[in-house]
Chain A
Amino acid sequence: MTDDELIWRVAGGSGDGIASTSQNFAKALMRSGLNVFTHRHYPSRIRGGHTYTEVRASSEPVRSRGDGYNFLLALGDSFARNPRDGAYYGNEEAKPLAENLDDLREGGVIVYDSGLLDEESVADLDERAEANDWHVFPVDLRTMAREHGREVMRNTAGVACTCAITGIEPETIKSMMRDAMPEKILDANLTVFDEAYEHVQSAFDVDATAVRVPEGDHEEEQVLLSGSDAIAYGAIDEGCRFIAGYPMTPWTEVFTIMSNCLPQLGGVSEQVEDEIAAAALAIGASHMGVKSMSGSSGGGFALMSEPLGLAEMSETPVVLIEAMRAGPSTGMPTKPEQADLEHVLYTSQGDSNRVVFAPGTVAEAYDHARRAFQVAYEYQIPAILLYDQKLGGELVNVPASHFDREPNTDPGSVLTEDQIADAPHDASGKFERFRHDVEDGVSPRSVPGQKGGRHLVTGNEHNAPGHISEDPDNRVAQVDRRSEKLRAIRADLDGDTLNDAYGPEDAEHGVLTFGSQQGTVEEAVDRLNDAGHSVKALTVGELMPYPVEEVRAFLRGVDEALVVEMNASAQFRGLTQKELGTGDDQLASLLKYNGNPFEPAEVVEGFETNIDGDGEVPGNETRFVPAAGD
């Protein structure tokens, strides 16, 4: 936590334009030279219900949402249900203000829309403000917006108040508005902006507050994008031109982006009847030689289990993505969790034969998507990208140069017609698609339409030309060959792994995590080292095949390691122990499953609990499970 940062929380109702307001705000700050990171919190509802987005901005790199926040813009919730005494969901009208006070830092600022929010309904606001040295600015944003434009423009008025109080140059926001807003609403918004800006400057003593926007400068051009954007662009740059899917939060984001992009590139996007069909379509298109993907979230991915097994057995390359949300069943659709790890590793019958990657950051989401396609098409194996609502939805700035790469549209281990002509065929002229005697387990394929390439592909066990076979020798040879692919992929990945080590190599303590908790853990590691501890972290991006040697080497020098993950049953720790064959007495767990991702301070506390605490973490948001023998 540095003082030199703004963590701005804009709160209101779903449907009140919080998402676009915060996105434009973040982009404007990025353009002004700051590093930004957004965190979304929203209910599974279209209208109303308390929602907020945080924009964290600093001149230093920002890796997580941070701890708490220092500026609250509480807009009205225009869809709030009528408050009644004892209402099940509470007084929704007051929520944008009432629900957000706990995490507001000392000395923080509150701007609220006095046109929609009744201060009286937040009983202890005055006392709490006094106790915490909060600076409260009631502004009738609604009336201001109505007078000069339309009511929805109160978001603009609120952003203008933010500028006036924190010292953001109005032009930073206004030039963004000119880029982002359609002509017909632009002028009114600009007027609302000026009005609110001037009102705050004249009506309040803004210099009395200490929350200021920092100044920053980028060495190179930045772009603002989400994990979902990055996954889509990674797929596109690998030549993926076919996607099939069925909407489900939060995977819908990638599906939507691809559905907009692919037709522009002469590709095909298909929304189909269910996820079984979606996965089967991706397999069908890939069988023809087209680089293809599908995906879903927990429940939809469950429906893909059987097609996933078909891809394994028929050795059809395909990339599936799984955007985790809190489960089981419908769970909490808009809340992140990392509890589908075991589901994705093992679902579908038989010995699983797949690759699973978990990107930790937005930039990595692009890289992992590309590697997933490369591995899938080279090794004819399904590759799954496992991520979650947090990574998919968070917006961060990434150097534009990160995406300045050559596409790779190679369809992988497919033969040309000339090569097919020279390849072995059986006596009836069938191309031997599944030969035993091949390098790295990969038997090159042909695709329908290629002359001389015809063969049979089946989910049954099969022999070289693809005929169903239950011959024991063939069975063993085929199983071994398919397993050999995983060994070869492991060796391939070892040359350039997707795992990220962080902190001093010879540190005394370790933190292990996977996926979207990477930035939070790394920020915690920095703080711990600043506080005099000696800590390093490893974020595992390759979950199958697991990087046993790398994890072992990481753990070798440390006596204990804390495993941080967002689920209740310590699935990642379990996987690590299974893969290493040991670890019981070395690995402790820090778990969180209340629907919110970790904050860095929680990891710091968990770490301290592990090394010298009494086994209890403060607060009830996280759970600590010590290593065996502790």
Chain B
Amino acid sequence: MSTFTGIGEERASDREEFTPGLEPQPTWCPGCGDFGVLKALKGAMPEVGRTPDETLLVTGIGCSGKLNSYFESYGFHTIHGRSLPVARAAKMANPGVEVVAAGGDGDGYGIGGNHFMHTARENHDMTYIVFNNEIFGLTKGQTSPTSPKGHKSKTQPSGSAKDPIRPLSLALTSGASFVARTAAVNPNQAQRILVEAIEHDGFAHIDFLTQCPTWNKDAKQYVPYVDINDSEDFEFDPTDRAEAQELMRETEDKLYEGEVLTGVYYRDDDRPSYGQEKRAIGEMPDEPLAERYFDTDYEWERSADAFLAKHR
């Protein structure tokens, strides 16, 4: 039993609990894909048996970063690109809390790209949702790391000369143990994938296609989509890294040809999470560190007793 009674309550929750009872109403534009993420997440949390007081939703900056303004739980709206380092430390500090991080494609694959690589590599037991709208939404439509080559915007008037980043492949090579893509236009699949991702014991990355009708008008609405796990056209095993890699590459290319492939691409359920790795080498306590400060019986060590002898 946790010192914090918000954690591990044996009761069912429902989507209403994750909906703030009061303003603010979302400030997203009508038709924005971000609504789809909010809806799927509200549906997924009760399904995984979590309640608002034991959930921490950490976001970056962007339209996407507003997610925790409209979601009822503990929330930390950080700074641009830095949701992951905040979130992974939160998980290490109190593994009993369900930690979900979220942000935009600029936030996660651009300015925060280094953290993405390293958080995946470390395989923290958390979920990371990237709202991929192939654009900088909040700053009014500049080209993002996932914008297609040739994409024109006010800051790339002649079109982007860069090939877009490959988010799924990047997650896989970096070490993520669960990699998926879903789309806002497919709320059922999105919720199902979110549930799997949250239940997965390791770093679960979801590239979430979220249409931006305001700044990315010519972009597709991500329909029709194909679910690679269901479709008969794809004979494929998501536990096979080589197959996953190949299909990810195809998926990333196809998106720019107008074909939307989605689903769970990769999962490795055997890889230990970072917490398990750290505990195995004696570098993380078994009991949640955060709770120690609230445990009146804990006997704290002092430096004088533990370390002064070698200075005598």
Contacts and interface: CB of A to CB of B under 8 A. Distances in A.
Interface of A: 31, 221-225, 229, 232-234, 236-237, 239, 241-242, 244, 261, 263-270, 272-274, 276-278, 280-285, 287-292, 306-307, 309-310, 314, 400, 403-407, 409-411, 414, 416-417, 426-430, 447-460, 466-468
Contacts of B252: none
Interface string B1-17: 01011110100000000
Given A224-B311, A285-B92, A428-B21, A449 B75 contact: no
Contacts, number: 237
Given A224-B312, A459-B79, 16 more contacts: A233-B303, A236-B302, A244-B89, A276-B82, A280-B85, A282-B89, A284-B86, A291-B293, A307-B79, A426-B22, A447-B94, A449-B2, A450-B53, A451-B9, A456-B77, A468-B66
Contacts of B294: 289, 411, 416
Contacts of A306: 79, 82
A272 B307 CA distance: 25
A290 B5 contact: no
A-B interface, 4 closest residue pairs, ranked by CB to CB distance from nearest: A284-B89, A449-B4, A428-B21, A280-B85
A491 to B, nearest CB: 26
A223 B85 CA distance: 38
Nearest to A241: B289
B69 A270 contact: no
A447 B290 contact: yes
Contacts of A285: 89-90, 92-93, 289
B79 A310 contact: yes
B115 A273 contact: yes
Contact of A409 (B4, B283, B300, B303): B300
A239 B302 CA distance: 9
Contact of A459 (B53, B78, B282, B289): B78
B20 A430 contact: yes
A449 B97 contact: yes
Given A268-B278, A405-B304, A453 B93 contact: no
B75 A268 contact: no
B121 to A, nearest CB: 9
B284 to A, nearest CB: 6
Contact of A281 (B61, B76, B88): B88
Contacts of A291: 293
Given A270-B92, A284-B86, A290 B290 contact: yes
A450 B4 contact: yes
Given A223-B308, A307-B82, A405 B302 contact: yes
Contacts of B62: none
Instruction: Output the residue of B24, B75, B282 with the most chain A CB within 10 A.
Output: B75
A187 B8 CA distance: 60
Contacts of A453: 6, 53, 74
A237 B303 contact: yes
A282 B73 CA distance: 21
**Interface core residue of B2, B74, B302, B308 (most chain A CB under 10 Å):** B74
A417 B5 contact: yes
Nearest to B293: A411
Contacts of B89: 242, 244, 270, 280-285, 288, 292
Contacts of A468: 24, 66, 69, 77
Contact of A448 (B94, B278, B292, B308): B94
A310 B86 CA distance: 11
A400 B15 CA distance: 58
B72 interface: yes
B7 A449 contact: yes
A415 to B, nearest CB: 11
A483 to B, nearest CB: 22
Most A Cβ at <10 Å: residue of B9, B282, B312: B312
A371 to B, nearest CB: 16
Contacts of B96: 449
Contact of B76 (A263, A278, A314, A467): A314
Interface residues of B, number: 67
Contacts of A427: 21-22
B59 to A, nearest CB: 9
Contacts of B118: 272-273, 277
A427 B19 CA distance: 12
Contacts of A416: 294
A274 B56 CA distance: 24
Contacts of A225: 311
Contacts of B308: 223, 233, 400, 403
B300 A407 contact: yes
Given A267-B289, A268-B92, A449-B97, A466 B75 contact: yes
A410 B293 CA distance: 7
A456 B68 contact: yes
A459 B74 CA distance: 15
A426 B23 CA distance: 11
B87 interface: yes
Contacts of A288: 89-90, 93-94, 97, 290
A411 B66 CA distance: 29
Interface string B105-140: 000000000110110000000000000000000000
B30 interface: no
B137 to A, nearest CB: 16
Contacts of B303: 232-234, 236-237, 261, 403
A428 B16 CA distance: 11
Given A273-B118, A427-B21, A449 B283 contact: no
B74 A448 contact: yes
A216 to B, nearest CB: 17
6 contacts: A234-B303, A288-B89, A314-B76, A429-B21, A448-B74, A467-B23
Contacts of A452: 6, 53
Nearest to B66: A468
Given A267-B289, A281-B86, A449-B97, A454 B278 contact: no
Given A239-B293, A244-B89, A427-B22, A457 B75 contact: yes
A174 to B, nearest CB: 17
B4 A263 contact: no
Contacts of A236: 301-303, 306-307
B72 A261 contact: no
A281 B87 CA distance: 8
A429 B72 contact: yes
B157 interface: no
